[in-house]
Amino acid sequence: MRLPFLNRKREITKLTRALNSSEPAFIVVYGRRRYGKSTLLQHITRKKDIYYLADQQEPPLQIKSLAAEISRHIPGFEQVVYPSWDVLFQAVQNQTQQGVILILDEFPYLVQKSPELPSILQKQIDSRQNRLQLIICGSSQRMMQGLVLDSTAPLYGRAMEIIKLRPLEAGCLSDALDLDPVAAVEAYSIWGGVPRYWELAKQFASMETACKELVLDRNGVLHDEPMRLLLDDMRGANQPHSLLGLIAGGANRVSEIAGRIGKPATSLTRPLANLIQLGYIRKDVPFGVSSRSGKKTLYRIEDPFLQFWYRIVLPNYSLLEQDLIDAVYTASAQNLSRQRSEIWEELARQSTSHLEIAGRQWKPAARWWGNGRNGKNMEIDLIAESIDGQSILFGEAKWQKKSNIKQILNKLNQQAENFPHIGKQKIVLAVWCRQHEKYPEHVHIFTPKDVLAKE
């Protein structure tokens, strides 16, 4: 079941601007599998444009396939035998109209078989006779970055636009799956911002059924999804697979990860940095602490679906191989509840810079943990500083069905007074909750409707 095209206005603006420039454009689009790259490109193509989805055939067969696609626009083009990519692209240049777009989707597949291809395209792009608009696209973030961001690569510095497609915001889910805000947050806590996952889930009557059929079932479309993603982006998937499993399981400090994996902490610096760059994990540091500080750094899974998979599927892989799907889902109820609460906290933090609270705009929020003024350990879900620096916001996020707002505000007020790094800033308190009874307007309370609408 296909979804409507969703919220890629910024990317479409960039693509359209580049393609309407006076010079032939070279554009790069990349991002994780299932983010909607192909859908985006097909959305901007016209009848005269050439769209080619590459595969992993040998070069002569790939050349023949592309020639066949081009012949849909240039009659008879495939009747000629093209001995090399160079000859084929020269023929395209000679026979296409000015301004035609050639899209090479899953470009890394072509380069794997024909490493000379980037140099051939560089020659075409740099030629004064070039009149072809070229877009290359790929799911292998590692390869795409190497092809265009590495200063030694032939295509380096030639792109008019480099668009890294990111996950969609949770707010899009309400429209995509026709869900109320509470259900949208719960769906996002499993599927994250990946539109293809939403599309797959939409065919099922309930979220529980979708989870069981798509993910827990050993024959489900997404049962082995993490390994496929890692193989796209890594030369070897075993180590990153292990790291993600440990982080999801609660080993959040590099010393803990190193201890469990049996390697020195220094050997994990690069692998963890790669996972951050690819959007699989993130570094958490307390509010007010530099992200460069390693002392209090915690590593967290960035993507909700991966967090769900590594918490629910990986520990139960043997049971799921025996088709004990219902038993695993029932036994995972506590983990699922914890996941929803954590994702709601993260959405609350993300929403802060988009919401006007107490008549002020706010910088990005962060968690805080450490010793308060009284010397006792304390954790706060959300702290943010106002843009003008005059106020500081303390917030708490709750996902139970009903929240005792008065009790939460009392706790927040005590935490604010015990916070060790506050000066003369005005204190503002806010609560993010699933639902609540009516409260006076001056009490700052936000529900899923507010959070999703403000994204």
What pLDDT is stored for residue 455 in this prediction? 47
Range(s) of the chain covered by CATH 1.10.10.10: 204-331
Q: What is the pLDDT of residue 233?
A: 85
List of residues 6+ apart from 416 with CB closer than 8 A: 392, 394, 422, 427, 429
- Torsion sign across C-alpha atoms 228, 229, 235, 240: negative
Q: Assign domain 204-331 one CATH number from 1.10.10.10, 2.40.50.110, 3.30.930.10, 2.40.160.100.
A: 1.10.10.10
Nearest-angstrom CA–CA distance, 350 and 382: 10
- What does each of the 455 residues of the chain score in pLDDT, given as a tens digit? 566 666 788 899 999 999 988 889 999 999 988 898 988 998 888 888 999 999 999 999 999 999 999 999 899 999 999 999 999 999 998 898 888 999 999 999 999 999 999 999 999 999 888 888 999 999 888 888 888 888 899 999 999 999 999 998 888 877 777 889 999 999 999 999 999 999 999 999 999 999 999 999 999 999 999 999 998 888 788 999 999 999 999 999 999 999 999 999 999 999 999 999 889 999 999 998 887 776 789 999 999 999 999 999 999 999 999 999 999 999 999 999 999 999 999 999 999 999 999 999 999 999 999 999 999 999 999 999 999 999 999 999 999 888 888 899 999 999 999 999 888 899 999 999 998 767 666 789 999 999 998 54
The region, left, alpha or beta by phi > 0 then psi within -120 to 50, assigned to residue 250 is left
What CATH code is assigned to 351-453?
A: 3.40.1350
User: Beta partners for 392?
Assistant: 385, 427
In the CATH hierarchy, which top-level class contains the domain 9-164?
alpha beta
In which residue ranges of the chain is CATH 3.40.1350 found? 351-453
Residue 106 main-chain phi, psi, to 5 deg:
55, 50
State residue 304 phi and psi, 5-degree precision.
Answer: -55, -40
Distance CA(301)–CA(174), nearest Å, equals: 24
